[in-house]
Structure 1
Amino acid sequence: MAKVELKNLEKVYGKFQAVHGINLEIEDGEFMVLVGPSGCAKSTTLRMIAGLERISGGEVRIGDDLVNDKAPGQRGIAMVFQNYALYPHMKVKNNLSFGLRLKHAPKDEIAAATDDVSHILEIEEYLERLPKQLSGGQAQRVAVGRALIKKPQVFLFDEPLSNLDAKLRASMRVRITDLHKRLLEEGMHSTVVYVTHDQTEAMTMGDRICVMKEGRIMQVADPYTLYQKPANAFVAGFIGSPEMNIGDATLGSDGTIRIGTQVLKLDEKTLSRIDKDAPSEVTFGLRPQSFDLVDPENGEGLLGRISHVEFMGHEIFLYVTVEDQSFTIVVPASGMEGQYQRDQQIRVKPRENAMHIFHRRTGENISLSA
C-alpha cells in the first residue's frame, strides 16, 4: 500500500509559519497534484513528505508507517526535481542505474531494469550519452527513469516541467500520465504527488487536485469539480484559462444582481443555488466562456465597450469594460474575423446557471447550497 496521509502538518521557520496544519489523504495509486501560486508552500509540503524538510508539527504517513523521523532513503519514495539533478560525469545508463548500484543489486538485475526503463521512456538511443549531450526533454525523461527504476511506493515530482518549452511540456505531460496509467495496469500501484504552479498541468494530469494558498488548503477535488464548483473565490480565480471574471455586486431581494448601475435578472437555476441567508453585498464570478453576445439595443445583459481584441486561432478574446469593471469574454472565431473592434459597444448576457456568488468577506462560494 502506498497511501500518503498528512495530519495537521506544520512547517515553521523561526517566527514565520509556512504550512498551517494541513490535512490531506492521497489514496494508493492516485495521481495527486499540489497547485498554487509561488510561495504557497506546495514545494515545502512535498519536501516534508520526502524527508528533505524537518516537520515542525503533525504527521506524515506513507502506507502504514509514520515517517516523520525516517531518512529519505527509508521512506520508499523517489523524487524528480525541476533541474533534473543528473550526474554530469555519468552516462545516461549509469545515471539510471545509480540507485540500484548503491544497493549492490546483482548486475543482471541492474541491466534488465535499465533496459526496461529505457524502453518505457524511449531513451534507448541515449544510454551512452552524457547529460550535456541531451535536450531538456531527454534529460527530464532520464530523471523520471532514474526514479522509476527504484520501483518506489511514491513518486514525488517538484515542478519537473517548468524548464521546458511549451511544446515539450505538453508532450511530457502525456508521457508522465501515460506512464502512471501503465504502472497501474501492470499492478504497480505507485502513488504520485506532483507539484506545479501551472493550472493547465494540474487540470490535465491530476486524478485530484489540491489547491493551496499561503500554506493552507483551499480545496481538494477532481478537475471537473474544481472548475464547475469552486469552493471559494480564490479557487475560482486560479483554476481556468482565461481566469474567471470576478467583481463586486449587490444581490437584490427581487431575484436580481446589480453590477455597477446595471441590473441582471438571475435565472431560476442560479437562484436555487444561492444560500437563502446570503448577504446583499457579494462577489460574482463568471467564466469567460459563459457569455452570449446579444443585440446592444436589447435591454438584457451587460452593456460595455471593447478595450482590446486578441485573435487566438479558434477563439477570440474580447476585453470588455463594463462601467469600472473589466471582463474577459471568449467567443468562437469562425466567421467572426474583423467583426469586433476596439471601442465598439457590445452587450453580453451570462448563460443560464453560469454565475457563481461568493461571500465578499470570506470568499466562500455561497451558490453551492443546492
Structure 2
Amino acid sequence: MARLELRNLEKNYGAVKAVHGINLAVEDGEFMVLVGPSGCAKSTTLRMIAGLERVTGGEIRIADQLINDRPPGERGIAMVFQNYALYPHMRVRRNLSFGLRLKRRPRSEIEAATNEVSNILEIGELLDRLPKQLSGGQAQRVAVGRALIKKPRVFLFDEPLSNLDAKLRASMRVRITDLHKQLKAEGEQSTAVYVTHDQTEAMTMGDRICVMKEGRIMQVADPVNLYNHPANAFVAGFIGSPEMNLVDADLSSNGELRIGTQTIRLDDSFRGRIREGVTEVTFGIRPQHLAIVRQDEQNALAGKVSHIEFMGHEIYVYADVEGHGFIVATPAAGFDRHHLSDGRIRIRSQAGAAHIFDRLTGENISLANRT
C-alpha cells in the first residue's frame, strides 16, 4: 500500500509562510495533480514530500508511516524533474540503472530491470547514447524510466513536460497516464503526485486535481466535478479554456441579476440553490454555456462585438456588455459572422449553467443547497 497523506503541512521561510497547514490524502494507486499559478507553493509541497525541503509543521505519511525526518533515499519515492536531471557523462543505460547500482543490486537484476523499463518506454535504441544526443522527448522518457526502475512507493513529477513543445507535451501526457494505468493493472506501486501550472495537463491526466492558491488548497475534486461545480471564483476562473466569464452583478431577492443597467432572471431551479442574504455577487458563466440569440430574444444581455477568433472547431466571439467582457464559444459549423456585421450581439446563458459567487469571499453560493 502507498497511501500518501499530508496533515496540517506547513512551510515557513523566516517570517514568510509559504504553505498554510494543508491537508491532502492521495489514495493508493491514485494519480493526483497539484495545479495552480506560479508561486502557489505546489512545487514546495512536492519538494517537502520528496525530502528536499524541511517541513516547518505538520506531518507527511506514506502507508501511515511518518517520514518527516527521513532522508530522500529512504522515503520510497522517485522524482522526475522539470530539467530531466540526467547525468551528462553517463550513457542512458547507466543513467537508468544508477540508483540500483548505488544499492549494490546484483548485475543480473540491474540488467533485467533496465531492459524491462527500456521496453516499456520504447527507449531500447537509446541505451548507448549520451544525454546530449537525445531530443527533449527522449530525455524525458529516460528521466521517467530512471524513476520507474526504482519501483518506488510514490512517483513525484515536478512540471516534467514544461520544456517540450505543444505536440510533444500532448503525446507525453498520454504516455505517462498510460504507464500509470499499466502499472496499476499489473498490481505495481503506482501512487503519483504530479505538479503543473497547465490546467489542460491537470484536466487530462489527474484522477483527482488539487487546486492551490498562495499556499492554500482551494478545492480537491475529479476533473468533471471541478469543471462543473467549482467551489469558488478562483477555481472557476482557473479551470477551463477559455476561462469562465466572471462579471460583478447585483442579485435581488426575487432572483434577478443586474449587470450594469441590464437585468436577467435566473430560472426557477437555479434560484432555489442561491443562499439568501447575499446581494453583491459575481456572475459566472462558461463561454461554452453562452448562446448568441436574436435581437428580440428576452432574458438576454445586449452588447457589442469587439473581436472574433477562429479556433478550428469553435469560434470565440468577444463581446462588451456595458464595460464587462464576455467570451462566447460557439461551434464553427454553421456559424455566420455576417449577422454580427453591425457589431450588435445578444447573448443568453443556458438554463442552470450559470454560477453565482459571493463577491466578498469568492464562495460559490449557487452550490450551497445542491444535493
Letter of the structure 2 residue corresponding to residue 355 of structure 1: A
Task: State the alpha-carbon separation in 1 of the partners of residues 298 and 150 from structure 2.
Answer: 65
Matching residue's letter, 1:231: A
Q: Is the 8 A contact 1:307 1:342 kept in 2?
A: no
Count of aligned pairs:
369
How far residue 64 of structure 1 moved from its aligned partner, in angstroms, is 2.1
Alignment partner, residue 127 of structure 2? 127
TM-score by length of 2: 0.98
Query: Which SS does the other structure have where 1:250 is aligned?
Result: strand
- Which digits, 9 at most, give the CA deviation of each residue in 1:64-102, with x for residues without a partner? 210010000000000000000001111111110110011
One-letter amino acid of the structure 2 residue matched with residue 13 of structure 1 = Y
Verify: 1:138 aligned to 2:142, yes or no: no
Structure-1 separation of matches of 2:298 and 2:353: 19
Q: Is the 8 A contact 2:8 2:57 kept in 1?
A: yes
Give, in angstroms, the shift of residue 353 of structure 1: 0.5
User: What is the Cα deviation at residue 255 of structure 1?
Assistant: 2.2
Q: In the alignment, which residue of structure 1 is the partner of 2:72?
A: 72
TM-score for the superposition, normalised by structure 1:
0.98
* Counterpart position of 1:280: 279
SS at match of 1:19: strand
Deviations 1:311-359 (A, max 9, x none): 0011000110000100011001112254365761010110000110111
User: Partner residue of 1:37?
Assistant: 37
Whole-Å Cα distance in 1 between the matches of residues 267 and 118 of structure 2? 56
Match of 2:360 in 1: 361
Aligned partner of 2:295 in structure 1 is 296
Aligned counterparts of 1:180 and 1:186: Cα–Cα separation in 2 = 10
Q: Which residue of 2 aligns with 1:212?
A: 212
Deviation at 1:13, TM superposition (A): 0.3
Corresponding residue of 2:230: 230
Provide, for residues 31-76 of structure 1, a one-character-per-residue CA deviation record: whole Å limited to 9, x for no partner.
0000000000000000000000000000000112100100000000
Q: Alpha-carbon deviation of 1:253?
A: 1.9
Aligned residue number for residue 177 of structure 2: 177
**Structure 1 residue 247, shift from structure 2 partner:** 1.2
Q: Whole-Å Cα distance in 2 between the matches of residues 233 and 23 of structure 1?
A: 21
Secondary structure of 1:2's match?
Answer: coil
Q: What's the Cα RMSD here?
A: 1.1
- 1:117 maps to what in 2? 117
**Matching residue's letter, 1:362:** T
Deviation at 1:155, TM superposition (A): 0.2
The 3-state SS of whatever aligns with 2:272 is helix
TM-fit CA distance, 1:272: 2.0
Name segments (4+ residues, structure 1) moved above 4 Å. 340-343
Q: Which amino acid aligns with 2:282?
A: T
AA partner of residue 185 (structure 1): A
Cross-structure match for 1:10: 10
Q: Deviations over 1:110-162 (max 9, x none)?
A: 11100100000011111111111111000000000000000000000000000
Alpha-carbon separation, structure 2, partners of 1:337 and 1:283:
31
Q: Distance in 2 between matches of 1:158 and 1:209?
A: 15
Asked if 1:49 is matched to 2:49, the reply is yes
Unaligned runs of 5+ in 2: none
Aligned equivalent of 2:104:
104
Aligned to 2:313: 314
Q: Are the equivalent residues in 1 in contact too, given 2:158–2:195 (CA < 8 A)?
A: yes
In the alignment, is residue 326 of structure 1 matched against residue 315 of structure 2? no
**How far has the Cα of 1:309 moved from its partner?**
0.7
* Long gaps (5+) in structure 1: none
Aligned equivalents of 1:83 and 1:97: distance in 2?
Answer: 19
- Match status 1:88 vs 2:92: no
- Taking the aligned partners of 1:158 and 1:95, their CA distance within structure 2 comes to 19
| CA displacement at 1:189 relative to structure 2 | 2.9
Letter in 2 for 1:151: K
Percent of aligned positions with the same letter in both sequences? 70
